[in-house]
Amino acid sequence: MSSGPLLAGNYIATAGSNFFDNLGATYPDATLVSCTIMRSDGAQISHVAVQRIPPASDGSIALTWGISGVNTGDAIVLVCASQSGRQLQSNGSSLTAIRVASLN
C-alpha cells in the first residue's frame, strides 16, 4: 500500500492493517506478522517486529511515525509480511501521511 507522491517536507505517517488467519485447523500455532513503513526509495522508516495472530483468529498492527526530509515526489509505503511463512489475509489496511511544519 502506498501514500504519495508527496510534497517536500516533514510528515507524520499513520498506518495499520487487520489480519485474518483462517488456516487454524492446518496451522495450530500463532503467526508473527511484521509491518514496516518505508520510503519509495527503499529506506526503512519504522518497523513493528512482532504481532501475534492467534490461529483461526484475527489481529491488527498500528504504526505512527515522524518522517523528516521527504523529497517532492516521494511516496510512503506500508509493507507487511508473515514471519512464520504462513499465509494471512489482510483486511482493512490504511496509510496516511500528514505534512507538518516540524517534528519534535
Range of the domain at 76: 2-97
Please tell me the predicted confidence (pLDDT) of residue 85. Answer: 65
Predicted local confidence at residue 77, as pLDDT: 86
Burial of 93 (0-12, 13-18, 19+ CB in 10 A): middle
67 occurs within a structural domain:
yes
**Is 102 domain-assigned?**
no
Q: Is 84 within a domain?
A: yes
* CA-based nearest residue to 63, from 5, 8, 1, 21: 1
Q: The C-alpha cell of 52 is what?
A: 501475534
CA distance 3 to 1: 7
Q: What are phi and psi of 88, to 5 degrees?
A: -130, 150
- 104 lies in a domain? no
Can you list the residues of the chain whose pLDDT is less than 70? Answer: 1, 21-30, 47-58, 85-86
Q: Is residue 103 part of a domain?
A: no
pLDDT at res. 90: 77
3-state DSSP assignment of residue 14: strand
**pLDDT computed for residue 54 by the predictor:** 65
Q: How many domains does the chain have?
A: 1
CATH of the domain at 73: 2.60.40
